[in-house]
Structure 1
């Protein structure tokens, strides 16, 4: 299945899509450091990466005509800064907003389907009208905005079109931890399937759960035994205590897999030894709102950091209560990158890339879901 990956970053979503069976015919990313990371690993022939046609490219310069009708999927994560909680929240008025380019890719490449992701805030009250416009435009990408036409006027015109839509589109907010990533990371996913396939993309269901993790930790104790630790009688958080009390009333374990914790993710790495990006980074400290990630839950969402060193979300709380920053190797595991996927840049720059990355576990789950829906439409 040929695909094109836009806004590829250091390769989290691209790797997930590769693992899901897609072969990228085009990969575009404008950030030079992220491109250098992907190329560094491509040239080292990492599994699922060796074929990547990664290049530094502004998506606005892409000529889609050679790929028109040749792609199963276009995927990518348009820059989230215009919609993020920590930014200026200028949305479509921000010059970094590339959603119009995502729509242009669908209009000009005419793939069987698409997968785009962005921050949860895109689905919040402030930007819901813009998300509505994105969905409406992806349903009818050929109805391009006119010169000087604003988003609201274009949205109104799209709503007046009576001809059949070109793509069936669905969107949902997901937690990456619910799909096997050891990281609490909420994202908006937008799926699309060409109308000619006569299939709705639908919404993918979680495969992992917090309840199953609590069951394994405090009902059976299997989690602690697996890690060679003494079983712990009760969780520290009141909300978890209430959930455990409810779980004790059940006759069987919750279905599905348990959330993957930080302890699960970094098992076998040991303390930082300086090899393969597993290098100790000094300076971690707790301050209000930045208290680090407990070992026995999925990590808090890694943050990219606007001014160099990211905040306290990028550190772990050790068993003795002390904190230290995640090494690059540990953070890469939280993003689902293999241990031979190396970062040639500095810790702060590489952590910025990892903080921006879509967890590969989520990318693979979404890629497999979309692949299955497209296959159902073709059959």
Structure 2
């Protein structure tokens, strides 16, 4: 299936889509350092990346009409206008690129699209803007007129009797529920062209915390898998009731367990100075600033380094000490292969990784979309994506 991606960053979403069977015909990113990272790995011949047509480009300069016969347009418009940090100016922020994402859909007329953003977009402050985004994606041909407010445009879109150009669904997801080694909450917006007569449904999680707790504290197979003694880590207070419920039910939870930090870093060992696996000193704990425990998915990586407020870019080791993730470890949490290198500094690399969509989430979403476009049949791309995850 043929695809195009805007706001590609260092390639997390694109890699997931590639693993799901999509072939990128165009990729655009405005950040020079992120493009340099992708091109570095393209030159190295990293699987999938070697075929990416990555370009340093402002999406506002793209003529999408020349990209015909696309099965998918995907991307993650900059989240800073809607994030928890910052000034939260939303659509008034000059970095808001949702109008450009919608323009891409309007001009390219792909069979489907997938966009992701921070969950704050679905919160009370920005919910009206999310509703405008969805309404406009349903009818991208009804462009906003000069001087027309978003509320006025939304009302005009909602009152339209014309057939929707796309069937659209949005949902809040936790990347850990789809095989990522991060607890990362995002908004996903899917659309399928209405002439295909497919009504998209929300994605169904493939991984769960209950299954992880089952394997940790009931069967013990999680600890066996890591060569550790069963029950070596006490049950967290907030999980005790869940474990007791699982014991009483005595029914093995379906699906796969959440992927933990220990799972993701297995076999990597302590920093050895090779291939981005370099120790960064100075990590410390203080109230509100704690690292990620090894036996849960990591906290969501943040696009910062020492200044990250919740200690999201640190791990808590078995002896209780903390240290910062190396670039290599953070790349594993995003789902990038070990031969995927970051040629810039740790600070810059962590910024890129903190902004990246986990590849496992991208693969799950891409496989889900491919199956929808294929009439609900499981695609070979989805199967390969699951194997890669």
TM-score norm. by structure 1 comes to: 0.97
Counterpart residue number, 1:177: 176
Distance in 2 between the 1:377 and 1:163 partners? 27
User: Deviation at 1:309?
Assistant: 5.2
Distance in 1 between the 2:204 and 2:141 partners? 31
Counterpart residue number, 1:40: 40
SS for the counterpart of 1:376 is coil
Distance in 1 between the 2:351 and 2:286 partners? 20
Counterpart residue number, 1:365: 364
User: Deviation at 1:46?
Assistant: 0.5
User: Deviation at 1:65?
Assistant: 1.6
- Correspondence 1:221 to 2:227: no
Per-residue CA distance 1:13-69 (angstroms, 9 max, x = gap): 00000100011110000000000001101111111111101011000000112113x
SS for the counterpart of 2:50 is coil
SS for the counterpart of 2:117 is strand
Counterpart residue number, 2:380: none
User: Deviation at 1:234?
Assistant: 6.6
Per-residue CA distance 1:295-323 (angstroms, 9 max, x = gap): 00000000002x87545110000011100
Distance in 1 between the 2:272 and 2:222 partners? 26
Deviating more after overlay: 311-320 vs 264-273: 311-320
Distance in 2 between the 1:253 and 1:87 partners? 43
Stretches of structure 2 that go unaligned for 5 or more consecutive residues are 378-389
SS for the counterpart of 1:348 is helix
User: Deviation at 1:197?
Assistant: 0.3
Distance in 2 between the 1:96 and 1:374 partners? 32
- Correspondence 1:346 to 2:345: yes
Distance in 1 between the 2:289 and 2:114 partners? 32
Counterpart residue number, 1:263: 262
User: Deviation at 1:237?
Assistant: 2.1
Per-residue CA distance 1:116-159 (angstroms, 9 max, x = gap): 00000000010000000000000000000011111111001111
Alignment CA distance shift 1:234-1:299 (3 Å): closer
Map 1:124-143 → 2, pairs under 5 A: 124-143=123-142
Per-residue CA distance 1:75-114 (angstroms, 9 max, x = gap): 0000000000011110000000000000000000000000
Contact 1:13/1:76 (8 A) holds in 2: yes
Counterpart residue number, 2:19: 19
Stretches of structure 1 that go unaligned for 5 or more consecutive residues are none
Distance in 2 between the 1:250 and 1:200 partners? 35
Which consecutive aligned stretches of 4+ in structure 1 deviate over 3 angstroms post-superposition?
233-236, 307-311
Per-residue CA distance 1:231-252 (angstroms, 9 max, x = gap): 1177442220111000101232
> What is the root-mean-square deviation of aligned Cα atoms in Å?
1.3
Deviating more after overlay: 368-377 vs 234-243: 234-243
Distance in 1 between the 2:42 and 2:7 partners? 17
TM-score norm. by structure 2 comes to: 0.95
Counterpart residue number, 1:286: 285
